[in-house]
Each structure stands twice: as structure tokens, then as C-alpha cells.
């Protein structure tokens, strides 16, 4: 793993990635009620908030919009992704290279793996040259580690989430984004399983301010290194308000009651 003390993705030893790969992964339905955010500039503007240490987007958005924000936004280049229209076993094909991401000014690389699916071995092999090229470019790597497949009966169980976190360490990521295993102690187990790898909580579907902030607070309490969140920010009527609150909870150690 890379030393990340000087990385722009880390502030006060914590990280907040604003994710905006949902247009590819889930389609325009994710923007219901906030249709103005179909314009990526809306979310790029959010990423200029002090709380956001990186914005995760794919190739097209990085090419088209990042040049206007490169002085104010740290780019996490999400190199692979698939659409909701595919109905088979999950597989996330790579659609741009580390080298091209570096040319566009990326500060980090993002990559999704689905451990447990039929094509797990292909995805692990696909990740190898990405990981090694990122090392050549001196770019940290964030892995989205989402177990799926017939053998995974409960993809948020304690053991499965700990395994997901460990896979990030074993395959050479610097950050590993995992789902919440629905239990604070289980999340602590995942952090321990990841050892020196930095675990990021997946923000998930939109919930109330209190439920979301209490979840983040619980995870920070057990050693999670930060958050990678999309819908729980940009689906809100006032995304800047929740970013203000996340700034205090993640980077300042405030409690939910302190900020509400």
C-alpha cells in the first residue's frame, strides 16, 4: 500500500469521496425528484465543498467536466462499471485506462470487484494490471468490494463484509469501500480484517439525516477511515447542509446530536 499522509484524498487522516457514477450504474431513474442533477456540473459544484476530498466519476464525465474543476476538485477516476440493463451475474468491465486517467489529471483510481460471482477470477485478473499501472503512476487505488453470486447468501453478513474488506488488502488496494454489515461490532471486525488498508463506508440509499449521520458516526467510532457516498448527498434538497454536517462528524469527531 502507498503512504497516504500527503494524499489529497486524506484530511485529518480521513476521507470523504463523493461518488457520481450512478448515471452508468443505475441510470436516470436515480435522479427522480432532483432531475437538475442529471447535469453533472451540479455534482461537480458539490465536490468543491471543503468536506469532499475526492469526486468519483467515470471516463465521460471526467473528460467533459473535470477540466473546468481541476483546481477545486480531486478526481478519483472510476475505471470500470456496467449498467442496470444487464441481467446476468454481475461483472464490471474496464472502460478506460490508468494511463489515460493520469493524463486527465486523476488523483486516484477507483475499481469495482464482485467477489463470489462466476467471473470473479476474470475480475481479479483484470484488476492486476490496473493496480500495477496505478503504482507506476503513483496513484492510490480505491476498490469497491461488493460480494455477490450464488454462494453469497447474505452479502451484508459479518463474515462476508470482513472478507470483502480483506480482499482489498490482499489484492493491493489502498482504500476498500464496503457495505455496512448492519451491526457496529461487525463493522469493527471488517476494519480489523483489513489491517492497514483504509476501509470506506458505502453511503447507500438515501435515508433521514439522523439515520445517516448516526450510521457514519458509529462507523467512525470503530475505525472506518471515511465515507464514499453519492445518493445520500446529491439526492437531498440541500446537499450542502449534509456535507457541512459530514464535515464535522468525519473530520472533527462531532456527534450526530452536536450537528443536528
Active site residue ranges: 177
196: three-class secondary structure by DSSP: coil
* Three state DSSP letters for 37-90: HHCHHHHHHHCCCCCCCEEEECHHHHHHHHHHCCCCCCEEEECECCCCCCCCCC
Separation of first and last alpha carbons in the chain: 37
State the number of CA atoms in the 13 A half-sphere of 233 facing the CB.
29
Cell numbers 502507498: residue: 2
* Alpha-carbon gap, residue 49 to 130, rounded angstroms: 29
- The C-alpha cell of 177 is what? 469501500
Bridge partners, 24 (sequence order): none
* Alpha-carbon gap, residue 190 to 222, rounded angstroms: 10
Amino acid at each position: 500500500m502507498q503512504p497516504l499522509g500527503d494524499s489529497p484524498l486524506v484530511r485529518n487522516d480521513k476521507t470523504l469521496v463523493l461518488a457520481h457514477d450512478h448515471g452508468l450504474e443505475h441510470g436516470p431513474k436515480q435522479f427522480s425528484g432532483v432531475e437538475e442533477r442529471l447535469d453533472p456540473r451540479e455534482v461537480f459544484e458539490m465536490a468543491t465543498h471543503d468536506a469532499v476530498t475526492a469526486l468519483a466519476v467515470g471516463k465521460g464525465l471526467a473528460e467533459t467536466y473535470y477540466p473546468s474543476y481541476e483546481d477545486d476538485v480531486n478526481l478519483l477516476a472510476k475505471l470500470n462499471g456496467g449498467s442496470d440493463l444487464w441481467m446476468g451475474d454481475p461483472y464490471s468491465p474496464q472502460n478506460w485506462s490508468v494511463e489515460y486517467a493520469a493524463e486527465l489529471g486523476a488523483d486516484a483510481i477507483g475499481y469495482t470487484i464482485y467477489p463470489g460471482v462466476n467471473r470473479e477470477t476474470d475480475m481479479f485478473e483484470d484488476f492486476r494490471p490496473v493496480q500495477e499501472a496505478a503504482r507506476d503512476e503513483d496513484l492510490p487505488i480505491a476498490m469497491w468490494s461488493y460480494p455477490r453470486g450464488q454462494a453469497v447468501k447474505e452479502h451484508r453478513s459479518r463474515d462476508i463484509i470482513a472478507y470483502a474488506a480483506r480482499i482489498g488488502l490482499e489484492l493491493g488496494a489502498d482504500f476498500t469501500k464496503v457495505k455496512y454489515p448492519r451491526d457496529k461490532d461487525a463493522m469493527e471486525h471488517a476494519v480489523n480484517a483489513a489491517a492497514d488498508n483504509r476501509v470506506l463506508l458505502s453511503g447507500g440509499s438515501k435515508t433521514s439525516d439522523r439515520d445517516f449521520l448516526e450510521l457514519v458516526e458509529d462507523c467512525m467510532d470503530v475505525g472506518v477511515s471515511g465515507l464514499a457516498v453519492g445518493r445520500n448527498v446529491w439526492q437531498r434538497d440541500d446537499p450542502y447542509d449534509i456535507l457541512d454536517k459530514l464535515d464535522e462528524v468525519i473530520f472533527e469527531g462531532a456527534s450526530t446530536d452536536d450537528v443536528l
